[in-house]
Amino acid sequence: MKWYEYILIVATAIWIYRLLRGEKADEWRMTQEELDAISREGTLELLKHLSLTSPDDAGVRFGLGYALCRAGRHLEALEAFGHAGRLDPSLNVGAGRGRALLGLGRVAEALAELERAVAAEPKNAGAHADLGSALQRLGRHGEALESVDRAISIDPDDADLHARRGHILKSLGRSSESGAALERAARAGPATAGQARP
């Protein structure tokens, strides 16, 4: 069974538990924030457990790295990605390492990791978005815009990417384009797809 299948099982179990407790429909409905928190916590706990029961599974360590990033535990995430890379050297852990390094404020190191990651995996929208974040933090707004535009070309429906584009355009003094990008983000939905991105 894959790690993401365990997550689905946990989410379903929580939903069934609430139903069986006899809670009224309006009481057991959860807000998106509550679901996200359960998802983050449940995913993290499940992946921690799997990393203990399957210590040589690079995929579990890789998933654990991203779950730790979502939880804001970037140093632990960096360690998990490193472990995954040692277990399976063919695994592209650069995007995850870059995200963790961004979260730690180690922007120059993150930039190097993310540049390697997008070279190895050019269709990885998240890596392009994180590369854009690193470039923006370094004041390289034009390059950041190019990177986020590449991410949008891969995942055009990601509201977070359009919001990022709007903020970069604003940094470049391109207010009308910025407004259009932010409107596009609002139409695409809540900007949460990349919330784990530092």
Nearest residue to 111 (alpha-carbon basis) of 125, 94, 124: 94
Query: Are 50 and 120 members of one domain?
Result: no
Same domain, 110 and 153: yes
pLDDT class for 35, splitting at 50, 70, 90? very low
Helices 74-87, 94-103: crossing angle, 10 deg rounding: 160
Structure tokens that stand for 180 in this block: 């259009």
- Which whole number is the average pLDDT over 84-106? 95
Last residue in a domain, options 64, 91, 118: 91
pLDDT in tens, 143-192: 999 999 999 999 998 999 999 999 999 999 999 999 999 988 888 776 54
pLDDT score recorded for residue 23: 46
Q: Report helix angle 141-154 to 159-171, nearest 10.
A: 160
**133 and 50, same domain (yes or no):** no
Does one domain contain both 118 and 78?
no
Residue 134 lies in a domain: yes
* 87 occurs within a structural domain: yes
Domain boundary among 62, 91, 120: 91
Query: Tokens representing 52?
Result: 């203990």
Q: What is the CATH number of the domain that holds 28?
A: 1.25.40.10
Burial class from Cβ neighbours inside 10 Å (0-12, 13-18, 19+) for residue 18 reads middle
Q: Give yes or no: residues 85 and 111 share one domain.
A: no
Domain check: are 21 and 80 in the same one?
A: yes
Q: Are residues 147 and 78 in the same domain?
A: no
Residue 37: how many CB atoms within 10 A of its CB?
12
Same domain, 79 and 131: no
Please state the domain count of the chain: 2
- One-letter amino acid at 61 equals R
- The domain containing residue 45 runs over which residues? 1-91
pLDDT tens across 158-170, in order? 999 999 999 999 9
Full-prediction pTM beyond 0.85? no
Report if residue 97 sits inside a domain.
no
One domain, residues 62 and 132: no
Q: Could you say which of 45, 66, 91 is where a domain stops?
A: 91
Q: Averaged over 115-142, what is the pLDDT?
A: 96
User: What is the distance in angstroms between the CA of the first residue and the CA of the last residue of the chain?
Assistant: 30
Cα separation, 102 vs 197, whole angstroms: 8
Task: Give tens-digit pLDDT for 47-85.
Answer: 677 677 777 888 888 888 888 888 899 999 999 999 999
Residues 8 and 60 in one domain: yes
Q: 116 near 136, Cβ under 8 Å?
A: no
